[in-house]
Amino acid sequence: MDENVKVFMEKVMEKNPGEKEFHQAVQEFTESVMPFIEKNPKYKKAKILERMVEPERAIIFRVPWVDDKGDVQVNRGYRIEFNSAIGPYKGGLRFHPSVNLSILKFLGFEQIFKNSLTSLPMGGGKGGSDFNARGKSEMEIMRFCQSFMMELFRHVGPNTDVPAGDIGVGGREIGYLFGMYKKLRNEFTGVLTGKGVNWGGSLIRPEATGYGAVYFASEMLKLKSDSFKGKIVTVSGFGNVAWGCALKINELGGKVVTLSGPDGYIYDIDGIKGEKIEYMLEMRASNNDRVEDFAKKFNAPFYAGKKPWEVKCDIAMPCATQNELDLNDAKILAKNGCILVVEVSNMGCTYDAAKFATEKMMYAPGKAVNAGGVAVSGLEMSQNSMRMNWTAEEVDKHLHQIMKNIHEACVKYGRVSKDKVDYIKGANIAGFVKVADAMLDQGIV
């Protein structure tokens, strides 16, 4: 490791003890941008990196609610308002029992650069709760969302901080959160994105993360004069992101053969298409958090407790959660002839897996690949400000162009040789420059 990176990381670790996911995200980022900062002393002098790793504000709050039995439950809520140099804080809410300060700080940190890459005016933020939706009733989910918003409403607003969905937060939860915000503020504004299309949501927002990821991967393949046509794709997860990927991959002539959940993975040799894709939405809405149901319904083999990376494929797309693909998985993928690892989940690969995949296959990081989701959130904000709705074609056209531009920016800053691009470096530097320059312009604040 470079000496400057080492010294910097020691300070980050000392100041943020125990936050291992946050350390991982900062280290990956710092290794890319440190050489760039050394060459551009204006950033060094203004201590831009030191300022960037410190959230502007981190809010932690109590979320009490009453379950169906009448018992009182208490969860912890968070909102990390990380950086507002280029726009209001923007980023999702994650409801999952694994949620803690470290995870939300890593997600908020990555969100800064992802949002910058979209070229839309959005700062970086993230929030959520350790709430576990598994086995909860519809009414329990509603009461939890209402209690969460009873505190969050003080801190957010259409020009301040605009949350959206993430793991465990989809259209249903956004609806309950929005309803409570509107009641408390007596205002109908675009304070959240991912809303229902009848009440301010944007067409294509549910599909956007998956579609965007496939558009980005198509650009990577195009560099090698290749495409999705005829490709076997392994996908992890079964939620909204995996769903959008599956739809677009089918449209482009590829075949998705796996889905996974915390319980294991299913292998469907015929390909996941048609009603099988629609069934993914039902699994999500059931609050069971498992894919074995798919195996039973469609008679596909189910591998309990295993990850889908052992299946032979051309393209691997982790769509579930952080660190779900490690070095060993990456080695198996390479050995089986995989040519491309497209990280769709945030920090879905461990750092050594990402580096290995960059070297031996092709790899692109989540903050570039999955930026289509937040990009269409940005377009939802624009439509709300104009009090207008665009057609699906219009939104999709913007999304496609944005993903092409992000790919181009990654190539600009990440090209290593004629036929090799380091997408980690490209995405980090391209995302950094815009935010860093805005911070310089705005002084020491």
**Interface residues with ligand GLU (CB under 6 A)?**
90-92, 114, 164, 166, 193, 346, 370, 373-374, 377
129 Cβ partners below 8 Å, 6+ apart? 63, 75, 76, 77, 78, 93, 94, 95, 99, 144, 148
- d(CA 100, CA 117) in angstroms, rounded, equals 26
Q: How far is the CB of 80 from ligand GLU (least distance, A)?
A: 13
Q: How far is the CB of 267 from ligand GLU (least distance, A)?
A: 27
What element of type H or E holds 379? Answer: helix 371-386
Q: How far is the CB of 92 from ligand GLU (least distance, A)?
A: 3
The rounded Cα 336 to chain-centroid distance in angstroms is 27
Task: Decide whether 30 or 321 has the Cβ nearer to ligand GLU.
Answer: 321
- d(CA 33, CA 64) in angstroms, rounded, equals 42
DSSP 212-245: HHHHHHHHHHHHTT--STT-EEEE---SHHHHHH
Q: How far is the CB of 194 from ligand GLU (least distance, A)?
A: 6
Task: Decide whether 92 or 254 has the Cβ nearer to ligand GLU.
Answer: 92
Q: Which residue is nearest to ligand GLU (CB)?
A: 92
Task: Decide whether 211 or 302 has the Cβ nearer to ligand GLU.
Answer: 211
Sign (positive/negative) of CA torsion 270, 318, 360, 224? positive
Is residue 126 part of the annotated active site? The answer reads yes
Q: How far is the CB of 22 from ligand GLU (least distance, A)?
A: 16
Q: CB 71: neighbour CB atoms within 10 A?
A: 8
- The token pair at 288 is 């069971």
Task: Decide whether 120 or 232 has the Cβ nearer to ligand GLU.
Answer: 120
Task: Decide whether 231 or 367 has the Cβ nearer to ligand GLU.
Answer: 367
- The token pair at 269 is 């040799």
Q: Which of 126, 231, 255, 434 is catalytic?
A: 126
List, by residue number, the catalytic residues.
126
